[in-house]
Amino acid sequence: MSAKPDEIIAYLGLGTNLGDRWANLRDALRLLAAAPGVRLLRVSQVYETEPWGVADQPRFLNCAAEAAVTLEPEPLLLRCQAVEQEIGRQPGPRWGPRLIDVDILLYSSRIVNLPHLEIPHPRLHLRAFALIPLAELAPSAVHPALSRSVAQLAQDAGGQDGVTPIGAVDP
C-alpha cells in the first residue's frame, strides 16, 4: 500500500511497559487504524527494550507504524493522545512507566517546532528503541533536521544491544 495524493506519510512510535504489553500495542494500533484521517500501512516487528531515561522500571515493548494521514501534525498529535487516554494512560513522570505511548517520529520531511509538539521527535536520533523499528519500515527516510537516513542514525545510536526483536503484532 502507498499514500494517496491527499495523504502524507507519518511514522509513529509506540511503547508500553505496564499491564498486558502486547494487548496495549494491539489496542493502540486498532484504535489508530479506526481513527478518521489515519490509515495504517505497515507495522514493524515488536522489540523488547531496556528503559531509557529512568532505568528502574519494567522493560518496554516498542514498535513503529507507518501511516498515511490526512491530518495536519497538531490534529494527529491529538489523535495519538486520544488513543493513549482510551487505553488508560495516566499522567506520570517523564520517561517513566506507562500503559502506552504513541509518538509522532516523522511527518513526511516536515519540521515542526511548537511548544507542545516537535517533529521529528526531539530525541529520535538518540533512541535505538525507536530508530531500530523505524529503520525496519523506512531505512532510507531522512531525518529532516540532521540530513541523515534513519538507517544511519539507527546504526550509530547507543543502546542497540538492549533492543531485541520478539515477534509481530497483529492489529
- pLDDT score for 74: 97
Q: Of 23, 25, 20, 27, which Cα lies nearest the Cα of 58?
A: 20
Prediction pTM value: 0.93
- pLDDT score for 101: 94
Distances (CA, A) of 25 to 17, 41, 67: 10, 16, 15
- pLDDT score for 171: 67
Half-sphere exposure of 139 (CA within 13 A, CB side): 4
Q: For residue 42, is pLDDT > 80?
A: yes
Place of cell 487516554: 85
Q: What is the mean pLDDT of residues 12-41?
A: 97
Q: pLDDT tens, 46-91?
A: 999 988 776 778 999 999 999 999 999 999 999 999 999 999 987 7
- pLDDT score for 100: 96
Q: Which fold has domain 8-166?
A: Alpha-Beta Plaits (3.30.70)
Three cell numbers written together for 125: 536520533
Report residue 1's pLDDT band, with 50, 70 and 90 as the boundaries. Answer: low
Cβ neighbours for 72, distance < 8 A, ≥ 6 positions apart: none
**Which residues are known catalytic residues?**
89, 98, 101, 103
Q: What is the mean pLDDT of the chain?
A: 92
